[in-house]
Structure formats: C-alpha cells, structure tokens
Structure 1
Amino acid sequence: MDERVERVDDQDRALGVVSRRQAIREGWLHRVAVTVCRDERGRILVHRRSGQLSRFPGFYEVVVGGAVDVGESYEQAAARELAEELGTCVLPRLLFTFINRSGVSPHWLGVHEAVVLDAVVPDPDEIAWHDWLTEPELRSALLEWRFTPDSHEAFSRYLAIQTAQS
C-alpha cells in the first residue's frame, strides 16, 4: 500500500491527505524528514541505497530519512526513520526546513542533526553499505560518487548553517 502524506502549500500548511505516489506524480508539495548523523568523533554517516529501491537505487546519501506520515511532526518522522533504517533510537534536532526542488518531485525538507553513539544496524532492504567519513573525505566523495540530489542540496545548506554557527 502506498504511503499517505499531507499535501502542503508553499507555507508548509496542510491542504489534505494524498498518497505519496500521487504527490510525486502531480508535483504536489509534501513533507520529508532527513537527518545528518554524526558519531562521537564528528564523522558523518554516508550510505549507499539498496539496488532494489524504486527511487535512486544504488546512489549514495549523506542523510537518512523519508516521508513524514499524516499527523507526524518532522522530528517524529526523523526519529522513526532513524529507528527503521539504522536500528538506532536517537532524538534528532530539527535545524531548518526548505522547499527542495532537486529531487524526484518538490517537497518540504526538514533537515535534522543527530549524534549517534550506538552501533548502527542498517535495514538491508534500504541500505546496501555504510561508513563514517570525515568532512574532507565526504567532500571528495560528493565529487566522485553518485549521490542523490537531496543529499547535495541538504548537505550544502547544512554546511552553511554549521559555518554560520561557528
């Protein structure tokens, strides 16, 4: 069964409930929550999407996440996705939201950050490979590997926020 999401407007206000498939097909805004995961040494989790996924199979990602369910907050969705995809219970912190037009369809993207202290146990249906990279290693990988469009957009905005806070 297709996921149900809230169709939202350009102010992130709910307009109604639709299927995610329909939102993507029609180009309707809906919500997606992602998290940049860091370990205790400040390295960033990077993973390669499973080859069986319908969207961007085999591409790399610097964020973990998915669609925000009906009635769920960005933070709740981010925590749920971390548990589902990485097997870790951590409370991510929402950093910012923006309308992302660089993926399959436009959507509001809630970008979070979390420090993951426990070992991750990725869901093999979602994640084929993962590793922790330093920022310089990740910058090189972003130039050499095939990353999802969301990863490029979210990570560049994430770095801008980090730089502004320094």
Structure 2
Amino acid sequence: MDEWVEQVDERDLVVAVVRRAEAVRRGWLHRIAVTMCRDREGRFLVHRRSGQVSRFPGHYEVAVGGAVAVGESYEAAAARELGEELGVQVPVRLVVKFLSLGGLSPHWLAIHEAVVLGRVRPDGDELVWHDWMTRSELSGFMRRQVFTPDSQEVLSRYVAADRPVPPEEW
C-alpha cells in the first residue's frame, strides 16, 4: 500500500498531497523523519532491514524512520516510526533538518534522537537484526557492510550537531 505524503518546496512548504511512490519516481521533495537511538551507555542502535521491505531490502541502517504522513509533524512521524518498527514509545528530540539529495529521491530529512532504556521489540517484517554499537564499532561496521544511502550522512550530521541527550535527561 502506497503512503500519502505532502509534496513540499525548497523551503519545506506544502505544495500538494501526493502518493509517496509518485514523489520518489518524479523526484518531488517530500518529508522524511528518522531517529538515532542511543542506550544508557551512549551506544547507537544499528539494524538490518528485512529482505521484504520495498526500499533497500537487506541494507543496514543507523536510524529508524520513514515518510511523514499528511498533516503530521516531523516529531510525530519519528515517534510513530519508533513504535511501529521497534515497539518502543519514547520521547524524540529534533537534532537537525536539512535538504537531502541522497537516497531514492530528494527529500527534507529531519534527524531526531531518542534514548531507549527498555527492551527493543522489532517488527520482523521491517527489521531482521539489531545491535548496539559504540561510535568506533559502528565506524568499522559501516566500512564492512552495505548501508542505506542516507546512513552515512545521517550519522555525520548527527555527530556534527553535537547534541546528544545528556545523561541527566535519561
């Protein structure tokens, strides 16, 4: 089933409501929200996409996320995707938003962060493997595995923002 998304302009203002597949096919800007998940020790959640998903099956990712639905905020979409893909309900915090020219088509990409203290219960239709890694472990892992096109930029922009959740907010 194809999702409905808001086509937006170069200022992230809504211009139309379209099907996501059409936005991707035509290269229309739309909105994507992702979340970098950290644990109590500051490690990053890394996961492998199912071979059954339509976009980048079997690829690894550093963030959980997806398309922002019509009328939905970036933050609401990020929180919804965490629930759908990881089975967790935790607060998300916006780190950075930028115009991404990578991936399947250009899109506005909002990177959020969340601290996940409880157990992760991934949706097996979406994710087939996950683990927590330090930044050093993740760097080596990314050199050896195939990641989604946005993963390196998401990690780079997240780290450059230098806004990890302070321990006192856990």
Q: Is the structural similarity TM-score above 0.5? A: yes
Deviation at 1:53, TM superposition (A): 1.1
Does the residue aligned with 1:149 lie in a helix, a strand or coil?
Answer: coil
How far apart in 2 are the matches of 1:93 and 1:135? 20
Q: Distance in 1 between matches of 2:46 and 2:28?
A: 29
Tell me which residue corresponds to 2:166.
Answer: none
Gap regions ≥5 residues in structure 2: 164-170
Tell me the distance in 2 between the aligned counterparts of 1:133 and 1:162: 18
Quote the residue 1:39 is aligned against. Answer: 39
- Residue equivalent to 1:149: 149
Q: Work out whether 1:88 is the aligned partner of 2:76.
A: no
- What is the RMSD of the two structures over their aligned residues, measured on CA atoms? 0.9
8 Å CA contact 2:9–2:15 kept in 1: the answer is: yes
Deviations 1:109-136 (A, max 9, x none): 0000000011000000000100000110
Partner of 1:2 in structure 2? 2
Identify the residue that residue 129 of structure 1 maps to in structure 2: 129
TM-score scaled by structure 1?
A: 0.96
Aligned AA for 1:15?
V
- Structure 1 residues 17-46: Cα deviation after superposition (integer angstroms, max 9, x where no partner): 000000000000000000000001101000
Aligned to 2:150, what secondary structure does the other structure show?
Answer: helix
Q: Structure 1: where are the runs of 5+ without partners?
A: none
Structure 1 residue runs of 4 or more that deviate by more than 4 Å after TM superposition: none
Corresponding position of 2:102: 102
Matched, 1:13 2:13: yes
